[in-house]
Structure 1
Amino acid sequence: MTNLGSITLIPYAGLCNRMRAISSAIYVSIHHNVPLKIIWNKSHNCAAHFTDLFYPIDIQGVTFKENEQFLHKLHRKGIDSLIIKPILKLKYDQVVYDFNSDALGDITNFINKEGNSLIKTCYAIGTYYDYNKIFRPIEHIDIHIKQLTSLFSSNTIGVHVRRTDHTISIKESSDDSFFRLMDSELATHPQTNFYLATDDDNVKRKMEEKYGNKIITTHNTPLCRNSVEGMQHAVVDLYCLSRTRKLIGSYGSSYSGVAAEIGKINLMIPRHNS
């Protein structure tokens, strides 16, 4: 174990981008005995307070603040780089933006061994800590999750189809590529059914037309993430996916990856050319 200084983390972007950044930062905090402060800011793509979604984090050495200070709330990259980052360097010994452990390895190889570091990222900064020990859905969300998962059997497979503005998911994980994997599962295990989570009503319609009562999904729920209600439904879908037997997810989607991590289940990614 290496003793480091303190870390302030500002996770940003969508829900699961934030969750993976927080999970990995907590792992660093615990395993390197470093105090961690997390600052959670509402934004257009994650329009909820943390406590609108989850119970407060209760882990020794970890503190949590919401919407703290003007400088910490700005997230426009141009302004951040040109104006805000130099100002933050007056407060912190080190300021690190968009660190990604997949590309660079563990954050502890890059930050100061002493002093205070600010890390602002939407990526993992190292190994994940157990999501289930960090993120506990609040009561009424948990009730909804339990209602939906009561419809599952031991043969229920999760299907997450990411659309709208996620161009790489749309390109790489086409509707037909999902159909091929789902058809294969049904050919092997005819009793299989699917829990479908998607941000596109047209996908729901196609899936229900093709698979009928093999599809479990929700209707008349907000698909966008610019409201508290929409964010709460995102948590419901996320945890329902995590409680399936395995998951057919979307290429390049952190949501698919985090659902699989929460449930410790196998993740299959359909590709249009496979």
Structure 2
Amino acid sequence: MKTLTIYPINGLANRLMALISAVRVATLTGYRLQVIWEKDQSCRAMLSDLFEADFDVISLEEFWKQNQAKKLTIVDANDAREKIPEFIDRNDLEIFRYDGLLILPHALFIRESILLVSHHFFFTEDDSNTFNSDRKRMAGLLSGEFSNFRPLPILRELADAYSEPLRRGIGLHIRRTYPHALTEEGLERELTQWSFPSVDYYMNLLPVIRDRTGLDGKIYLSTNCKVTKSEVVTRLGEANVLTYQARALDVSYSVAGIQDAVVDMISLSKAPLIIRFNESTFSFFSAMLGGCHQAIVYRDGQTLLKGPLEY
């Protein structure tokens, strides 16, 4: 049987974007889906630590052992060339890209074995023609595929506990507010592009959003910074802030921390509106799951209210 192998890379939300895309593409094309899932500094949990799924999950080492004798077609969506052995011919395929989405040409699916390295949405050429480059409709289509990933029961139960308290609430996702990144050795180094809006900015924005939307319920806070959590709780009052951050604040990105991030992602999706930074795929994925409206904060200080699924 023809096989589509997806190798999702980078952080949790990036990987899930690629995975739900792969589920749909495999269904449309009749390919058997196989997933390579590797731990790295961005995600130290295996897929089985987070979700129940109905497809084969293997390691990168196992994949190359199984396919050494084959000529594979490689679709490298993210310049992850160091992961692709030189002996594979990858010059016979055109890749179409626009607006950050990868469009796979219909002609690709005459190949027996395809390996796609990706961290974002991708579609078949037929899909892109049907939806006329409307990313909102594309995201809506893919959000339904997430039913193929069932969070482990304990994670789902924790997230479901926030359904009622957030009926008129707001989800608030604040990434680390200081320049921060993790190297392979776990050492911090500064990167200016990792600098995000301050807590003050979000706190000043919150009453404006409440006034414009009429949402007067509790805040669900998702952050990966202990100082940020403490400041928001102090400013808003402990009774007004819901959060599940027992382990997600662990900067080592441990298995337990990634499990808590799944709880965060699903819990955010329970709110009618999410305030988020525009470059955060994590909070966009949450908005996509819940069909949430969004208040999107940009680096230049502007904030735009957008509907569900708009990126």
Q: Size of the alignment, in residue pairs?
A: 256
Aligned pair partner of 1:65 in 57, 62, 66 = 57
Please give the TM-score of this superposition, normalised by the length of structure 1: 0.80
Report the counterpart of residue 35 of structure 1 in structure 2.
32
Report the counterpart of residue 273 of structure 1 in structure 2.
301
**Is the Cα contact below 8 Å between 2:168 and 2:215 reproduced in 1?**
no
Give the direction of change, closer, same or farther, for the CA distance of 1:135–1:197 in structure 2 (3 Å limit). Answer: same
**Is the Cα contact below 8 Å between 1:249 and 1:270 reproduced in 2?**
yes
- Please list the CA deviations of residues 89-124 of structure 1 after superposition, one character each: whole Å capped at 9, or x if unmatched: 26x897899x86634652235735333221111122
Q: For the residues of structure 1 that align with 2:44 and 2:56, how far apart are their CA atoms? A: 17
- Please list the CA deviations of residues 18-65 of structure 1 after superposition, one character each: whole Å capped at 9, or x if unmatched: 00001111111122333322111122221111111111x23xxxx322
The two structures, once aligned, show a CA RMSD in angstroms of 3.2
Deviation at 1:227? Answer: 1.3
**Highest RCO, 1 vs 2 (Cα 8 Å, sep ≥ 6):** 1
Please give the TM-score of this superposition, normalised by the length of structure 2: 0.71
Report the counterpart of residue 176 of structure 1 in structure 2.
200
Report the counterpart of residue 158 of structure 2 in structure 1.
144
Report the counterpart of residue 211 of structure 1 in structure 2.
236
Give the direction of change, closer, same or farther, for the CA distance of 1:44–1:19 in structure 2 (3 Å limit). Answer: same
> 1:62-101, aligned counterparts within 5 Å?
63-69=55-61, 81=81, 84-87=84-87, 89=88
Deviation at 1:191? Answer: 2.7
Deviation at 1:72? Answer: 5.6
Q: For the residues of structure 2 that align with 1:68 and 1:96, how far apart are their CA atoms? A: 24
Q: For the residues of structure 2 that align with 1:157 and 1:264, how far apart are their CA atoms? A: 13
Report the counterpart of residue 127 of structure 2 in structure 1.
none
Q: Percent identity?
A: 24
Moved more, 122-131 or 244-253: 122-131
Q: What SS is found at the alignment partner of 1:269?
A: strand
Q: For the residues of structure 2 that align with 1:96 and 1:66, how far apart are their CA atoms? A: 27
Report the counterpart of residue 309 of structure 2 in structure 1.
none
Extract unaligned runs of 5+ from structure 1.
74-78
